[in-house]
Structure 1
């Protein structure tokens, strides 16, 4: 399995388009959005400055891009090309393949988080305590596993032609409705109620709790755990179903 993880990392790091959208793109959006407010601009109801608030949003968005976009399309194409079928002929167990995909995606997501933090600190002068930077990195990185599991599930659910539109709809829907591109406080009340139960909203809320030096809401933790179980269980079921077809 270690060899497969190394192979996945090498392939991801050679993909310049993937690296741009997962590492640089979130930082660019952060600068565009954070630059719209003044130096004292805050996001209502949080007490956080706009740059500090959007830093967590864009770090989460970058990690989401890395694990979701990278996993789903690559798995669907590997199924069509017969690569997954060849791996089944080796000693690699099914769970090893899924774990390798998830682990490699999680490693690639780390640079996207760090780059957003560096840009926020150097350009927008976001200042936090050392423990907050460390806790933010760990929380956002660990939380990305929820969406890595979703990427694996979509990769086994869709064919090579259908996987991109399905992934894009899921990707942008979760990002926008979950409040990663704009504060959910700007949404109508009914849409805010829906957003509260989305995994992306809970994902970013963990980081904002750390910025506010408080414990995360139990609801946010429960939402992330529930979606991880759902996505991981769905990925495992779809993998077994795909194995039976092969």
Structure 2
């Protein structure tokens, strides 16, 4: 299992587009939004509130994007026959699934850390050390919901459709979930919609940590419910749609 995990981590981690969109872009957005709109928020505590909120939103954006992006390879593996080849190796099916989940979760962490560092040392966000640690940890764990969503898309759709779906789903969840523009600025209907999206509740995990020191039970329940629903749907899709018998290995 460790060999397969290392292989899959190297495979996704060396993808420059993945690193750009999940690490560099959220960090750049953090600086951009804070520089452009932070001054309008005011100074002192008002600036801190805006800069912190922007940073948390971009951490959530990067975490969601990394979780979805790291699992898109599932559709390529299924189409190429790589998953079918793994079935005839000594690697148990449960280990293959565990590796898929671990790859998605582990590759979320670099983006979260980089955006947090940018928030602290570029934008001047001030938080106590335990809050920093809790913020990164909670968003890291919460990203499992989007790993489950990525696995669902990867198993349900063909490779080209899965790639397009990941892009569309990520963009819609970011835009309507309040990761680019605060939900408070949305008109009434969109504000209601935002509150049913997992991206909103994922970012709310981080906002709760900043404001309360820990996520509120309702926030945790919302993210967990989405994760369970996506996982159950993924299991159903996998049972009904076996991998094609095509020889080859995904690159």
Q: TM-score, normalised by structure 1?
A: 0.92
Q: Closer, same or farther in 2 for the Cα pair 1:112/1:244, shift >3 Å? A: closer
The answer to whether the 8 A contact 1:58-1:116 is kept is: yes
| Cα distance between partner residues in 2 of 1:47 and 1:178 | 22
| Cα distance between partner residues in 2 of 1:5 and 1:118 | 27
| Cα distance between partner residues in 2 of 1:154 and 1:171 | 12
1:20 matched residue in structure 2: 20
The answer to whether the 8 A contact 2:57-2:203 is kept is: yes
Where structure 2 has 5 or more consecutive residues not aligned to the other structure, the ranges are 246-251
The answer to whether the 8 A contact 2:48-2:126 is kept is: no
1:62 matched residue in structure 2: 62
> What whole-Å deviation, never above 9, does each CA across 1:162-188 have from its counterpart, x for those lacking one?
112211111111111111111000101
| Cα distance between partner residues in 2 of 1:11 and 1:158 | 21
Question: Which of 231-240 and 125-134 deviates more?
Answer: 231-240
1:234 matched residue in structure 2: 233
Q: TM-score, normalised by structure 2?
A: 0.90
RMSD: 1.9
Question: Which of 202-211 and 216-225 deviates more?
Answer: 216-225
2:96 matched residue in structure 1: 97
Q: Closer, same or farther in 2 for the Cα pair 1:38/1:172, shift >3 Å? A: closer
| Cα distance between partner residues in 1 of 2:69 and 2:48 | 30
2:211 matched residue in structure 1: 212
The answer to whether the 8 A contact 1:40-1:49 is kept is: no
1:33 matched residue in structure 2: 33
The answer to whether the 8 A contact 1:60-1:204 is kept is: yes
The answer to whether the 8 A contact 1:135-1:210 is kept is: yes
1:8 matched residue in structure 2: 8
Give 1:1-246 correspondences, 5 Å limit.
1-39=1-39, 41=41, 49-72=49-72, 74-243=73-242
Q: Report 1 or 2 for greater relative contact order, CA contacts < 8 Å, sequence distance ≥ 6.
A: 2
The answer to whether the 8 A contact 2:83-2:243 is kept is: no
> What whole-Å deviation, never above 9, does each CA across 1:172-215 have from its counterpart, x for those lacking one?
11111111111000101121112112111111111111111354
Question: Which of 84-93 and 116-125 deviates more?
Answer: 84-93
| Cα distance between partner residues in 2 of 1:84 and 1:151 | 16
> Offset of 1:13 from its aligned partner?
2.0
> What whole-Å deviation, never above 9, does each CA across 1:146-171 have from its counterpart, x for those lacking one?
10011111000100121122111111
